[in-house]
Chains A and B, each alone.
Chain A
Amino acid sequence: MSNDHFVRFENVDKSYDGKQLVVKGLNLDIEEGEFVTMLGPSGSGKTTCLMMLAGFETPTNGQIYLDNKVISDIPPHKRGIGMVFQNYALFPHMTVYENLAFPLRVRKIPKDEADKKVDKALSMVSLQGFEARMPMQLSGGQQQRVAVARSLVFDPKLVLMDEPLGALDKNLRESMQYEIKHIHENIGVTVVYVTHDQTEALTMSNRIAVFNDGKVQQLSSPDELYERPVNSFVAEFIGENNTFGGEVIDVSGDKCKVKLNSGTEIMANPIVANSKGDKTTVSLRPERAIIDPEKDMDNNHKGKIEEVIYHGDHTRLRVDLLGNKDFILKIPNSSNRMDITEGKEIKIGWNSVDCRALDPK
């Protein structure tokens, strides 16, 4: 039976200096076996949440539950939570084997059993045969994998990862993302992962909690988060985004009419701004706008190409559209290249469903 709220934050506040709240009234439930990512800009309180969960910080107010038990009074070493640190935190004076055996030794697990566990954990990250190496003799990626293996070797139910891939280069980072994801799928441990890299979050997670200003802005699956952001911050933070400022002048069913600051009226999907007179920021993903739409779309406007940026697999256009000079369009790099040159006027269309009227910026 999986537990719906294996980890639970209940009205958690955290302040370091008594003047500012770093975390404000946080409520968050994490299911057992889930991979949840806390995503947000730096200073948004995500790492603080992780540290409170690990026991290195205490909540100023509110409770944190782990498996239905309040854990605020349990010291970190008794929580049984595995943790991967930003800079790996491998013990530099111990070999890989000793690093992995440390959590087993302090738990007084007999040596032969410990050996088996270490072996299993190392094979999980494909590092068998590295037992006798010192951490300094390993590459960044290998160190990272040792750190992951160490956090799992004592079979914790929950593993916390604090920006573990931050120090790796791009290619290695991507392959490690898959590796961690597969380990998670194979052993079914609950993972709470902190990152400021949205691609990482989108690739790895079951659910993502977007943090800003000490609050969870949205907690949902990656596709939900990208397709249906609930507010301007999430829309801006995740992926690319085109915005128009304006005011709702009419609402009918699942559509609304927005009068933009430039005077034009467009059709949009009322999400946050859903009554007449609301100020709004309309958000539209670049890939949802189409050049020269063939079928009828309920928004169809003309714009002028300001800049063409070649990106290899796609080309990016910066268009002056309805008063927004930074409107971005993505054109896939297919064989039937359209005639796109700077200064040219083009027709752009999109569906009102994809165009979300959110809170004003």
Chain B
Amino acid sequence: MSQEKILSSDGIPLEESLKKAERKNKLKAVLLVAPLFLFILIIYIFPIGDMLFRSVDDRMITKMLPKTFVAMEKWDGQDLPDEPVYQGLYEDLSILKKNKTFGKIIARLNYEKSGFSSLIKKTIRKIDKLEEGNYKEQFIKIHKRWGQSEYLVALKNTAPNWSYAKYLKGVDLKFDEKRNIIQQDEDRRIYKTLWLRTINVAFWVTIFCFILAYPIAHLLATLPMKYSNLLMICVLLPFWTSLLVRTSSWMVLLQQQGPINDLIVWLGWAADDNRPELMYNVIGTFVAMTQILLPFMVLPLYSVMKTISPSLMRAGKSLGGTPLVSFVKIYFPLTIPGIGAGSLLVFILAIGYYITPALVGGASGSLISNNIAYHMKSSLDWAFASALGTMLLVGVLAIYWVYNKLVGIDNIKLG
């Protein structure tokens, strides 16, 4: 084919005049999208980036003790460092004392090695009384730990600007003094259990939601309009109720003197003085989360089922398929996009669920998100919270990737 340029009637190449004609529309489209784009950038992309950054950022000590670290570069990390390091420490700590900004550094160093807290506090208290010169001796006089090389090695270990120690901690691993990766001490291993529990809960909540939602969605899609509308309102009602209210009402229902326990006792399944614990454990988490996440399964399923013509099932039957065969071979395969969408949605929501496990989960029913919240609000180890959050995010993306490989993301139908 010849590549002759097609001209529009005024002699300008057609391509150009088309571009010109569409420029205005493009500009309009960009302007329309801009607010949402900015919104997402500010409240989504930016915080996530910040979170990723925080989880590996370890510059705080380096910044607060600049002279010390400059001096430490010349130290081989074997015996005790020489005078310049101690002089650097003296100058840095004096500035910190003057500015009263030593709180953070104490927490960070104590996390690196316990014992640092009292060491730094005592040093700062007495630092004004030091005389010029021979700081090494004077430091060791203030606290004998300044004379133990392991503390100074620990201090030197915090020198790199970036660290993935928080990620190691998230899977119950840690560095030893020689920077080898080793298992966390037995009594401090909690994160593996927590991750497994989180995945386990998310998985089973997804399964329960699927089992409960499939018949409801089918009913919704096949009932005559006036009934299906009513049913739809019943499905959506939880959406319009505050999450907190719904979880609290589960607390009312599930508590040991609550109606469900009353029923169990009345039915004779349990003795009155031995009522089963339905709350503050993993059962409560399962029950409440399944109920709360159910609509997220019902709606995608419904929207897919709505598009399946009832004549397909009829065709299956008229061709000789029993209702069961017709269902398995025809109806079910056609609902797979909805199942995929619903499961993905419920699983991803469940894996990061917070309020419900926090309220009804108790210790044995709390999930990774509760731990993240704990580090955000109580222990104030934001870096670790960020690391856990990033791990969660990566996990979700991995699930998404696997799903895309297995089912194909294009097959998802959300409505």
Contacts and interface: CB of A to CB of B under 8 A. Distances in A.
A56 interface: yes
Interface string B323-349: 101100110011000000000000000
A83 interface: yes
B77 interface: no
Q: How large is the interface on A (under 10, 10 to 19, 20 to 34, 35 or more residues)?
A: 20 to 34
Contact of A80 (B314, B320, B322, B334): B320
A106 B334 contact: no
A79 B315 CA distance: 13
B311 A85 contact: yes
Given A92-B334, A102-B329, A85 B319 contact: no
Given A91-B330, A93-B333, A150 B319 contact: yes
Interface string A79-96: 111110111011111000
B311 A103 contact: no
A106 B321 contact: yes
Interface SS, B side: helix
B321 to A, nearest CB: 5
Interface string A53-82: 011100000000000000000011111111
Contacts of B407: none
Interface of A: 54-56, 75-83, 85-87, 89-93, 102-103, 106-107, 150-151, 154, 160
A90 B334 CA distance: 12
A187 to B, nearest CB: 17
A107 B314 contact: no
B311 A102 contact: no
B323 A56 contact: no
Interface of B: 309, 311-312, 314-323, 325-326, 329-330, 333-334
B315 A154 contact: no
A83 B312 CA distance: 11
A80 B333 CA distance: 24
Contacts of B329: 102
Contacts of B326: 77
A80 B319 CA distance: 7
A154 B319 contact: yes
Contact of A77 (B312, B321, B333, B334): B321
Given A89-B311, A89-B312, A106-B325, A83 B318 contact: yes
A83 B321 CA distance: 13
Contact of A102 (B316, B322, B333, B334): B316
Contacts of A82: 318-319
Greatest chain B CB density within 10 A among A82, A93, A102 is at: A102
Contacts of A86: 311
A103 B318 CA distance: 9
A81 to B, nearest CB: 6
A279 to B, nearest CB: 43
B309 A77 contact: no
Contacts of A81: 318
B328 to A, nearest CB: 11
A75 B326 CA distance: 13
Contact of A87 (B311, B317, B318): B311
Contacts of A107: 320
A250 B257 CA distance: 94
Which of A55, A75, A76, A160 is most buried by chain B, counting CB atoms within 10 A of its CB?
A76
Contact of B309 (A78, A83, A87, A150): A87
Contacts of B314: 54, 56, 76, 83, 85, 89
Nearest to A93: B333
Q: Among the interface residues A81, A93, A107, A150, which one has the most CB atoms of the partner chain B within 10 A?
A: A93
